[in-house]
Amino acid sequence: MTQANYDQYRESVAGRADVADSPELLAYYAELERLKTGALWTVANKIEPWQPQSASVPVLWRYRDLREHVLRSVDLVTPEKAGRRVVYLDNPGRRDVSAAVGWLYAGLQVMKPGERASAHAHAASALRFIMEGSGAYTIVDGHQVTLAARDFVITPNGTWHEHGVAEDGTPCIWQDGLDIPLVNAMEANFYAVHPDLHQAVTRPVNDLVAAWAGAGLQPLQHGWTKPYSPLFKYEWAATYEALVRQAAVSDGSPFDGVLMNYVNPLTGGPVMQTVGASMQLLRPGEHTKAHRHTGSFLYQVAKGKGWSVINGQRFDWQERDIFCVPSWAFHEHANASGSEDACLFAFHDLPTINALGLYREQALAENDGHQPVTG
Amino acid sequence: MTQANYDQYRESVAGRADVADSPELLAYYAELERLKTGALWTVANKIEPWQPQSASVPVLWRYRDLREHVLRSVDLVTPEKAGRRVVYLDNPGRRDVSAAVGWLYAGLQVMKPGERASAHAHAASALRFIMEGSGAYTIVDGHQVTLAARDFVITPNGTWHEHGVAEDGTPCIWQDGLDIPLVNAMEANFYAVHPDLHQAVTRPVNDLVAAWAGAGLQPLQHGWTKPYSPLFKYEWAATYEALVRQAAVSDGSPFDGVLMNYVNPLTGGPVMQTVGASMQLLRPGEHTKAHRHTGSFLYQVAKGKGWSVINGQRFDWQERDIFCVPSWAFHEHANASGSEDACLFAFHDLPTINALGLYREQALAENDGHQPVTG
Amino acid sequence: MTQANYDQYRESVAGRADVADSPELLAYYAELERLKTGALWTVANKIEPWQPQSASVPVLWRYRDLREHVLRSVDLVTPEKAGRRVVYLDNPGRRDVSAAVGWLYAGLQVMKPGERASAHAHAASALRFIMEGSGAYTIVDGHQVTLAARDFVITPNGTWHEHGVAEDGTPCIWQDGLDIPLVNAMEANFYAVHPDLHQAVTRPVNDLVAAWAGAGLQPLQHGWTKPYSPLFKYEWAATYEALVRQAAVSDGSPFDGVLMNYVNPLTGGPVMQTVGASMQLLRPGEHTKAHRHTGSFLYQVAKGKGWSVINGQRFDWQERDIFCVPSWAFHEHANASGSEDACLFAFHDLPTINALGLYREQALAENDGHQPVTG
Amino acid sequence: MTQANYDQYRESVAGRADVADSPELLAYYAELERLKTGALWTVANKIEPWQPQSASVPVLWRYRDLREHVLRSVDLVTPEKAGRRVVYLDNPGRRDVSAAVGWLYAGLQVMKPGERASAHAHAASALRFIMEGSGAYTIVDGHQVTLAARDFVITPNGTWHEHGVAEDGTPCIWQDGLDIPLVNAMEANFYAVHPDLHQAVTRPVNDLVAAWAGAGLQPLQHGWTKPYSPLFKYEWAATYEALVRQAAVSDGSPFDGVLMNYVNPLTGGPVMQTVGASMQLLRPGEHTKAHRHTGSFLYQVAKGKGWSVINGQRFDWQERDIFCVPSWAFHEHANASGSEDACLFAFHDLPTINALGLYREQALAENDGHQPVTG
């Protein structure tokens, strides 16, 4: 299929392509196409942009809008037929890859007491952030972890994992986060259903959490050689306490307040090779300055209320709301309360961006670091 | 825009989604769309494939087909207007991102004696493999390297670089290789034209090649802290000699013959963070076994003639022909000569695949490791 | 000075030196000595032993023996004259280098309320383990940490550090541990007294402990690039809790029970480049199996009572006793209580041994892994 | 054995120990000794020196002095009785540990055509630098390398290795270098004689040298995971060529001229974990500036003639002479020829010093960086 015009990306700037179509060139372009080739100058300005162009748009998903739809799926489909009952977040700019932002997938999953999904494995890296309910658990390669609200759990690339809710629990909703779109884009995804549909729990419940129980304390015999954290679960209570302690001695970041990255305690590196996560605290009344950087972020409000300004657009949020910040979008956060702190959980692709040497960052220079709100 | 049907990806397999459309569900899906969400089970089987699905198709580009078109660009456009005169390889499955295979761009560039392109920098990582002509040179961050046929040169992420051909040279053609599509996909590309359009050569010509002149020899004062190789140029003569020496003492790989990876001599890692390259030698009459792995490869025939079988399709090649192997495609190579060796240059995204923990490999088990040729 | 005989190390084993002195050889040896040389075969068997020969002997230092002498130093010398009032442990095999074991120095230091030692820095790496008293503190490069019994604190190579006891504290005794003998042996020790004799506290008290407050949680802005742990203090309460939690889910090591290494939370590596430390728990009635390995260890009993067998010699210990295990000495530990756990603090040179590739380990094969007690 | 006086190390400097002996203190010291302890202030100034104190003295060993003695050993002892016929360098300050400098051993070994020493292994790391003769070879873990004058070969910690001279060779002399004293000091040495006295050559001769044949070229299938260089031999011709090429484009170091470190091509790190080596070139007439640093060095003159000034003492050297520079000794080198370059081979313990974080360096500030010659 031959294009109508080839000079739509012209720029009249030294060092950029600026070739007008002509009958001779159009004939030449047609010949090139026949040979499965093209003329670089017809696309150079498009494929070499001056700065990152994100296909994603900023979106806020309100939990009060989504919750009933998530719960309704319990009645609409069975786990046997649906696999998992999940409402996924579908960024208008990324519908082709079912991503919430960039190459990151996210969904809200619901499970009833006594349900247990089948075990599977995939090359994508996954995480869960618990939103409500009691009795949820996850089994990862034979290690079972129990989960409460605002706990964070990982199920890394290649692990057998399955989720369930105890018989004496309540309906549970959590956010799944995965790099499925990234791994598909890398043309490297694999999927397998566990041959027994379920795996045996081979170790005491929460054993790895107990093994990695203190900051700077490493079990003698950990024997861990996997490229992801052996600490599968990061509990909310300990995380929040750490933030509060840190807030007492540190000003934090001008852009992010007091922020703790969840890391692999064995290496200090990210929890998984492609996806990272963090929890940050905004002090009462704190309003951070704006910056932008490469990498895509999906936030969930873990505590409190406030707003964020993303590329000039204001999004007001409260607990359990989810919003995204696309790559290279300016963003700043504000805590709306003068007395309570606010906490934002986030997961992102910075481990990928860093591994590829693609991280760049820029503070907003104008207006004392605050964006004019236009939307 | 609401889809017509949502159950096109159903699979009747335990652990997979298998939900039929119903009026109630279609109404539910419409509500979800309004909220910028969707039901995972409508896309789960699509976004979680059993194994990698490459969008690229195997292609062989014959140099005898392309050469005249490359040379014709000299008459059709000026460097000032075109930026660079390049015929790029446009994989039929990747036309949306102008990639030769996967997320890799490649093009054939031509330059006349006395021409000198303007200097620029980008977040994409680039390389050149010289195909013909004399007098070519590249300047990278003030270091100039001279280039002869089958030399390999890198111009990494973030470096100022420019290409030219000496006044007393001949028209030069080379292959450019870049990860532009990858860096765009990562939403992390930046582009800049050098403020002076050209950079000064601040060091003796070929200084870094002289500094890193021997295997296992490291200059005391290298001071190199960049995340890419300080050895910008890898010369053909030394590379070929190394292959011949290695062939005398080693059987090589059953899948690749005798293969040398171009590496960063300071770390033993790949030449650049996202893109790697290699040169391999097939002995007279050698026919390797087939395997497949994640990662996308673009080969150029540096020496000799032979054929490759890619996903069952045979491609016959000779010097300077280029062909691609998509991710997870079975491939095997054969040297058609019983007396001369054959050499294949390749560049690929394995550094990216490895950094993200996504490498998987599988040998072909059937038929003594050889594919039936179907195309 | 010419030796009397040169054949004292002869061994009649193939591959070993076995040359008898003769008049001709003795004359030859004399000539060699004049040239500042010697004949290897006269010393080869001595300098190439079949297995490690430790100069250190196993010693138990009882706290009830030492305590009064430590306290007496308060009356005997002033801090101004003595620098520090310390009784150091002087292994009978290592008196030439003032080491407690191997290349490790240890001493018991006492300080009165209101005293504050002058600040200094050295290339040796130091640590303290608090034994009794309240109000102790240490300042390291401007960071102050407060200390309670059984807390562990590091003052690494090159840091300005000083110790003191608050006015409202009580007399404090702690164990110092350093690699002074090692750094002297490496001919790399430096010493400096702080130009102001004392350093300013530039950060909130215990700030780094607050910053690194949770397992797997990393402050966004740590900015730490030093080759040692940013977590200067490891508190007893958190350490003991981690051991108890770990004991609930793990059998521990057959040789060491449940053991936690104190590590750098930023890297998972040892707290300092040359010296490591650990705390281990022996369950009620636990008696570990014997093994031996390279590396020198100094233990202090943090909790409980029991005994250790070291190269066949039994040493009974109780709280605050100190004992050493020389390199390559068989050792096993036993908790004497059937109802209380026992805890051993240790510091050692394994980071040095590992960095040099010199770690070897061997379990005792005979007698179900228990040594006959001969001493 | 009680000392006569305990206040021999007093210093009247704030922050240092300055306690005079008294009858009461002497009684106290005696009690401490009985408890296998001591008072720190009696030794503090001794064990915490202001700067490194090397036990080694600078020495020059002239080859013309040593050669005849080395050759004479052929007649004096048999390989069967002596193990190896070696004249070792015995630094007057290090006779207790048979070291040439610091913790480094060195010796001159001779072997006749047709001789083959038995294979052994030890935890010490070893190297050879060939001085004269033809036909020498070394076998390391089944890999045989052939050796010519000024080639450098390693036989690392834990490898089975053996040396020999071919039947058609000539008497060969080489310098052995090892860290035997260091590994003994670390109490971690092991020695084993090969059960068959000799090992089989399992690979083509010089196979690893062929495999690692080019700068920046890495064999696909190296499979190397050992903590030392897979490139066992570094040939003189390639090393000298690299120095000459480097000299053409670089000023080199003001202290060392043009210097190449022999490194592990797989990691860029030192050839072995504890011992490093280098070859440096002094241009005609070059006279370097003086500096000092931690770490012990043993030099051998590979080419040319000149002199070095070490802690103010001048040593004139010519080809095959050997001299040492102790830790923290000022040193500078000069090429005596106005027309020929001079080359110095060195081996040293910098990998150990660096691994332990103990490297410090200081340029001589006075007299334009040149020492007054006093000896």
Interface residue C326 vs chain A (CB under 8 A): no
Chain C: residue whose CA lies nearest to D120? C15
Touch between chain D and chain A (3+ CB pairs, < 8 Å)? no
Closest Cα partner for B133 from B109, B145, B149, B116?
B149
Find, among D74, D97, D61, the residue nearest to D318 by Cα.
Answer: D61
Q: Does a structural domain hold residue C55?
A: no
Whether residue A374 lies inside any domain: the answer is no
Please give the Cα distance from A147 to A173 (Å, whole number): 11
Instruction: Give the one of A242, A250, A252 whose C-beta lies nearest to C217's C-beta.
Output: A242
DSSP helix/strand/coil, B233: strand
Half-sphere exposure of residue B218: CA atoms within 13 angstroms, side-chain side: 25
Please check whether residues D75 and D7 belong to one and the same domain: no
pLDDT 10s digits, D208-221: 999 998 999 999 98
**A30 and A92 co-located in one domain:** no
Residues of A whose CB is below 8 A from B84: 40-41, 44
Report d(CA C356, CA D224) in Å as an integer.
Answer: 19
- D104: nearest Cα among D289, D303, D320, D322: D322
Question: Please, what is the end-to-end C-alpha distance for chain B in angstroms?
Answer: 39
Specify the DSSP element, H or E, that contains B351.
helix B350-355
Residues A48-105: tens digit of each pLDDT: 999 999 999 999 999 999 999 999 999 999 988 998 999 999 999 999 999 999 999 9
Whether C98 contacts chain D with CB within 8 A:
yes
Cα–Cα distance between D174 and D147 in angstroms, integer?
10
User: What is the rounded CA–CA span in Å between residue D155 and residue D121?
Assistant: 9
Residues B46 and B67 in one domain: no
Whether B327 and A188 lie within 8 Å, measured CB to CB: yes
Q: pLDDT of D74-107, one tens digit each?
A: 999 998 899 899 999 999 999 999 999 999 999 9
- Taken as a whole, chain D contains a residue count of 375
Q: What is the 3-state secondary structure (H, E, C) of D30-55?
A: HHHHHCCEEEHHHHHHHHCCCCCCCC
Is residue B337 one of the residues assigned to a domain?
A: yes
Helix axes C23-34, D63-76, angle to 10 degrees: 160
Does position A186 have pLDDT exceeding 90, yes or no?
yes
Among B165-169, C2-6, C234-238, D269-273, name the one with the lowest average pLDDT: C2-6
Give yes or no for residue D3 having a pLDDT over 60: no
Same structural domain, D153 and D23 = no
| Cβ distance of C31 and D76 shorter than 8 Å | no
Residue A363 corresponds to which tokens in the numbers above? 């503070």
Distances (CA, A) of A194 to A117, A143, A160, A183, B15: 11, 15, 7, 20, 9
- Residue D1 pLDDT level (bands cut at 50, 70, 90): very low
* pLDDT tens, residue by residue, A336-348: 999 999 999 999 9
Tell me what the mean pLDDT of segment B203-208 comes to: 94
Q: Edge-to-edge strands of the sheet including C331-335?
A: C313-317, C306-310, C331-335, C291-293, C361-363
CA A204 to chain centre: 30
Q: Are residues A159 and A15 in the same domain?
A: no
Looking at every residue in chain D, the average pLDDT score rounds to: 96
Contact D265 B267 (CB under 8 A): no
Is C1 a residue whose pLDDT tops 60? no
**Structure-token pair, residue D130:** 């060939």
Where helices occur in C142-250 by DSSP H, the ranges are: 180-185, 207-211, 236-249
Q: Is residue A5 scored above 90 in pLDDT?
A: no
Examine residue B348 and state whether it is found in any structural domain, yes or no. yes
User: What DSSP state is assigned to residue D171?
Assistant: -
Per-residue pLDDT, averaged over D240-254, amounts to 96
Query: Is the pLDDT assigned to residue C254 strictly greater than 50?
Result: yes
Q: Give the whole-angstrom CA distance, residue D373 versus residue D313.
A: 6
Please name the amino acid found at residue C283: R
* DSSP characters over B197-221: SS----S-TTHHHHHT-STTEEETT
- D333/D310 Cα distance (integer angstroms): 9
**Biggest distance spanned by C-alpha atoms of chain C:** 76
Whether residues A151 and A3 share a domain: the answer is no
Q: Which two tokens stand for residue C288?
A: 């570990």
- Is C134 a domain residue? yes
In a shared domain, residues C147 and C257: yes
Do C344 and C201 share a structural domain? Answer: yes
Confirm whether A99 is domain-assigned. Answer: yes
The rounded distance, in Å, linking the Cα atoms of C224 and C134 is: 30
* Overall number of domains in chain C: 2
Instruction: Point out the residue among A38, A157, A188 whose CB comes nearest to the CB of B98.
Output: A38
Query: Is there a contact between D265 and B203 if contact means CB atoms under 8 Å apart?
Result: no
Q: How far apart are CA D36 and CA C69, in angstroms?
A: 12
Question: Are residues C67 and C173 part of one domain?
Answer: yes
Task: Give residue C2's pLDDT.
Answer: 52
Q: What is the mean pLDDT of chain A?
A: 96
Average pLDDT, stretch A161-183? 97
Question: Quick check: C90 and D38 CB within 8 A?
Answer: yes
CA atoms within 13 A on the CB side of D339: 0
Parallel, antiparallel or unpaired: strands D86-89 and B126-132: unpaired
Q: Please count the CA atoms within 13 angstroms of the CA of C18 that sit on its side-chain side.
A: 9
Interface of C with D in 121-180 (CB under 8 A): 122-124, 157-158, 180
Same domain as B248, residue B202? yes
Q: Is B179 contained in some domain? A: yes
With pLDDT > 70 as the criterion, what percentage of chain C qualifies? 99
Helix axis angle for A63-76 and B23-34, nearest 10°, is 160
**Cβ of residue C249 closer than 8 Å to a chain A Cβ:** yes
Cα–Cα distance for residue pair B287/B307, rounded to 1 Å: 9
Mean pLDDT across the stretch D333-352? 98
- Does residue A2 register a pLDDT over 70? no
Residues C189-200 have a mean pLDDT of 95
Q: Which residues in chain D have their CB less than 8 angstroms from residue C107's CB?
A: 40
State how far the Cα of D353 lies from the Cα of C182, in Å rounded to an integer.
11
Range D352-356 average pLDDT: 98
Closest Cα in chain C, distance from residue A264 (Å): 6
pLDDT band at C3 (very low <50, low <70, confident <90, very high): low
> How big is the CA angle at C283 (ends C279 and C289), to the nearest 5 degrees?
80
Please give the average per-residue pLDDT across A118-138, as a whole number: 97
Q: Which of C210, C239, C252 sits opposite A217 (nearest CB)?
A: C239
User: Given pLDDT bands bounded at 50, 70 and 90, which one contains residue D247?
Assistant: very high
Is A9 strand, coil or helix? coil
Q: Is B327 on the interface with A (CB under 8 A)?
A: yes
Task: Give per-residue burial for B175-206: e unless 16+ CB within 10 Å, then b.
Answer: bbbbbbbbbbbbbbbbbebbeeeebeeebeeb
B122 CB neighbour count, 10 Å cutoff: 21
Query: Which B positions 203-242 lie with beta carbon below 8 A of chain A?
Result: 227
| Residues A55 and A93: beta-carbon distance below 8 Å | yes
Report the gap between the CA of C36 and the closest CA in chain D (Å): 5
* Chains C and D physically touch (3 or more Cβ atom pairs below 8 Å): yes
Confidence of residue D5 (pLDDT cuts 50, 70, 90): confident
Q: For residues A258 and C20, what is the distance between their CA atoms, to the nearest angstrom?
A: 75
pLDDT per position as a tens digit, A209-233: 999 989 999 999 888 999 999 999 9
Q: Are residues C156 and C303 in the same domain?
A: yes
What is the SS3 assignment for A151?
coil
Alpha carbons C148 and C131: distance in angstroms, whole number: 8
- Judge: A50–B190 Cβ closer than 8 Å, yes or no: yes
* Whether residue A7 sits in one domain with residue A143: no
Confidence of residue A1 (pLDDT cuts 50, 70, 90): very low
Domain CATH for D365: 2.60.120.10
Average pLDDT, chain C: 96
Q: How far is D60 from chain C (nearest CA, A)?
A: 10
Tokens of C116: 């504050």
Q: Hey, are the CB atoms on D220 and B246 less than 8 Å from each other?
A: no
Task: Assign B1 a pLDDT band (cuts: 50, 70, 90).
Answer: very low
CA B150 from chain center: how many Å?
15
Q: What confidence tens digit (pLDDT) does each residue in B243-276 have?
A: 999 999 999 999 999 999 999 999 999 999 999 9
pLDDT, tens digit (0-9, with 9 covering 90-100), for C97-121: 999 999 999 999 999 999 999 999 9
* Dist. CA D324–CA D327, nearest whole Å: 10
Q: Which residue of A has its CA nearest to C260?
A: A219
- The DSSP element (H or E) to which D245 belongs, if any, is helix D236-249
Average pLDDT over residues C159-183: 97
Per-residue confidence (pLDDT) for residue A43, from 0 to 100: 96
pLDDT band at C347 (very low <50, low <70, confident <90, very high): very high
Domain residues for the domain of D40 are 1-50
* Burial class of D67 by CB neighbour count within 10 A (0 to 12, 13 to 18, 19+): middle
Query: Residue A195: exposed, middle, or buried by beta-carbon count in 10 A (0-12, 13-18, 19+)?
Result: exposed
Using CB atoms, pick whichever of A214, A231, A259 lies closest to residue C220: A259
Q: What's the rounded mean pLDDT across residues B146-173?
A: 97
User: Residue D213: its pLDDT value, please?
Assistant: 85
Q: What is the ipTM of this complex?
A: 0.96
Give domain status of residue B375, yes or no. no
